Amino acid sequence: MPKKTNKTNHVLNLLVNGNQVKSDASPSEVLQSAPQPITGSQITVPQASASPAAIRIVESDQDSNHPIADAIKVSLEQEVALMGIQPKSPAPPQEKEGSEKIVPDKELDYQFVNVMEITVKENLLDYMERFGLCTCLRCQADVMALALTRLPAKYIVVPQNAVSPLLNFFSGKYKVSIMTELTKACFQILDNPRH
């Protein structure tokens, strides 16, 4: 073990005492000048109060005439009263009497459309006939399901009267990926037909 130098003694002294001692002090002098440990009777722990702190209610003259503020105040007072009676069970949510469910209108001006699904449906029979597949409903459903599974869904929200122009635009944009997936699906069904 290396010998303790004056520098080591000085650092130890600073750590122990927090003040400087002569650099030529012996280790026994350093230990004698060290602070004494604290005993259990010298430690004081603050006690927690038995009752919770009082809740302050601040009222302003300007806010006292608002019906919304009054409704909130009544609601909060009811919750505090319930908490005082039953602190362990939460209060069930209360439904407002004036709340009504919003019923969607049957005649909407717009609709959402999956561009990929419509485009695959339009091209399905053409590709199945090109590759010599059976065009029964079961084979059509299989080819369409395989193609749509591999294609990402592309939804658009359009007005009722503008569906066709936007479908033409998006079908042209995704034509290559639709053609590729329809071809793959046709070959897979051709290799493993269901009937």
Consecutive H or E run containing 17: helix 6-17
User: Which token pair is 140?
Assistant: 């059509």
* 137 phi, psi to nearest 5 deg: -65, -35
For residue 79, CA distances in Å to 18, 51, 72, 83, 85 come to: 55, 19, 11, 6, 10
Task: Give whole-number Cα distances, 151 to 112, 115, 122, 164, 176, in Å.
Answer: 18, 11, 15, 21, 11
Report which residue type is found at 162. A
Three-class SS state of 59 = coil
What pLDDT does 88 receive?
47
pTM of the model: 0.44
Q: What is the pLDDT of residue 6?
A: 78
Predicted pLDDT at 49? 58
Residues of the chain with pLDDT under 50: 86-88
Instruction: Please report the pLDDT score of residue 155 as a whole number.
Output: 92
